Amino acid sequence: MRKDRKLLIVGGGVTHAYNLIELIKGYFDDIFLITDSENDKFKDIDHEVINFSFSNPLNIIYSTAKVKKIIKEIKPDFIITMQMDTGAFCTHLANNKNIPSMVVGFGSDVLLIPYKGYLYKSMAKFILKKGNYFNTGSNHVAKGMNKLANKDLGVVVSNFGIDDSITSNKKQNIVYSNRLHSSLYRIPLIIEAFARFIEKEERKDWKLVIAATGDEEALRKKSKELGIEKKVSFVGWLNKEENYYYYSISKIWISIPKSDSIPISLLEAMAAGSIPIISDLPSIKDFFINGENGIIVKNFDENYIEKALELNFDDVSTQNVIKAKDFGSKVKNRDLFYSIFDKEFKK
């Protein structure tokens, strides 16, 4: 009879951490989460909040000591660090018992942040050196991890899966944006694009719905300066059901980040039958074809929202639903994660 399997997850992205736990919890008997922010989703999950900010260099010592204490108390059999960030750095520093670990890399922490300076790259390299297993959501980001490590890490490409409950409803003239209000996601450019789009008389009944949180005040000011404040609705941070509802009724979903993997939000929008508009990212080249699955933006000064309406909506929508639910299959992606754990526990 096997002993109980205990998992420690360290993840700053609350939604991603929760989605991964939901996907793989059947493999483990006990799961403990360390996160940098509280969330209602974690109320039924054993967890502790630790501030991993390095604004005060002494916090590296304090945070590492806290993680080391948790490791000593719960004695995990496996550790997952989500994102190659300060939380992952402290966790791998604390893991002096060499507990097997998996590093999950996201788009920006692999493709952008390590190239901001020597210390960032050194931190990323250290995390990759300390990990035993590796995962990310696209082949392009996997190559980025290999490049940083200067070797083939054997990265398993998989995602956290999408809910079968995501469906298409009666579509309305809505453009939906639900990425965070940070510079990475370029929400001001989306507002500018929408202003160009509704200059046409026949587009006056359209609405831009902006979800998530961040610098909402500046975005409201931007909408007012462009004279479209009555056409832009800020709905804040949404729960899962509210988010799925806006996917279901929106004809267009838009996300134009500077860098990304294949985001779950893209798969969710496709599964809901919306036409996606996305930035020209290397990570989506093998998955998304411009003009067939939606619009890839290469020139941010163009009226690219109008271009999305030039596509055959029914054809694109039908194709995207099938593709998203296949690529985002929970069963398929769960099996890929389980294959990583099997390598360790079936040695």
| Neighbour count for residue 261 (Cβ, 10 Å) | 26
Residue 136 has pLDDT above 70, yes or no: yes
Q: What are phi and psi of 204, to 5 degrees?
A: -65, -20
The pLDDT value given to residue 2 = 66
| Neighbour count for residue 168 (Cβ, 10 Å) | 17
Mean pLDDT, range 222-245, rounded to an integer: 96
The pLDDT value given to residue 179 = 95
Q: How far is CA 276 from the centre of its chain?
A: 16
The pLDDT value given to residue 13 = 62
Residue 1 has pLDDT above 60, yes or no: no
Is 334 in contact with 158 (CB distance < 8 Å)? Answer: no
Could you read off the pLDDT of 50-87 as tens digits, one per residue?
999 998 989 999 999 999 999 999 999 999 999 999 99
Higher pLDDT, 1 or 70: 70
pLDDT grade, residue 43 (50/70/90)?
confident
The dihedral through the CA atoms of 169, 174, 176, 181 has a sign that is negative
Could you read off the pLDDT of 269-283 as tens digits, one per residue?
999 999 999 999 999
Residue 11 has pLDDT above 70, yes or no: yes
The pLDDT value given to residue 41 = 73
Tell me the H-state helices in the chain: 14-24, 58-74, 86-94, 107-111, 118-130, 139-149, 187-197, 216-225, 240-249, 264-271, 304-309, 313-327, 330-345
Mean pLDDT, range 156-163, rounded to an integer: 95
207-223: b (≥16 Cβ within 10 Å) or e: bbbbbbebeeeebeebb
Q: How far is CA 280 from the centre of its chain?
A: 17
The pLDDT value given to residue 48 = 92
Q: Which residues pair with 103 in a beta bridge?
A: 81, 134
Percentage of residues in the chain having pLDDT higher than 90: 85
Mean pLDDT, range 277-303, rounded to an integer: 94
pLDDT grade, residue 14 (50/70/90)?
low
Residue 197 has pLDDT above 80, yes or no: yes
Higher pLDDT, 56 or 246: 246
Q: What are phi and psi of 218, to 5 degrees?
A: -65, -35
Residue 241 has pLDDT above 80, yes or no: yes
Same fold: 6-161+329-345 with 172-327: yes
Residue 120 has pLDDT above 80, yes or no: yes
The full set of domain ranges for the chain reads 6-161+329-345, 172-327
The pLDDT value given to residue 286 = 84
The Cα 136–Cα 263 span in angstroms is 11
CATH topology of domain 172-327: Rossmann fold (3.40.50)
Percentage of residues in the chain having pLDDT higher than 70: 99
The pLDDT value given to residue 40 = 75
Q: What is the mean pLDDT of the chain?
A: 94
Domain 6-161+329-345 classified CATH 3.40.50.2000?
A: yes
The pLDDT value given to residue 39 = 76
Burial class from Cβ neighbours inside 10 Å (0-12, 13-18, 19+) for residue 200 reads exposed
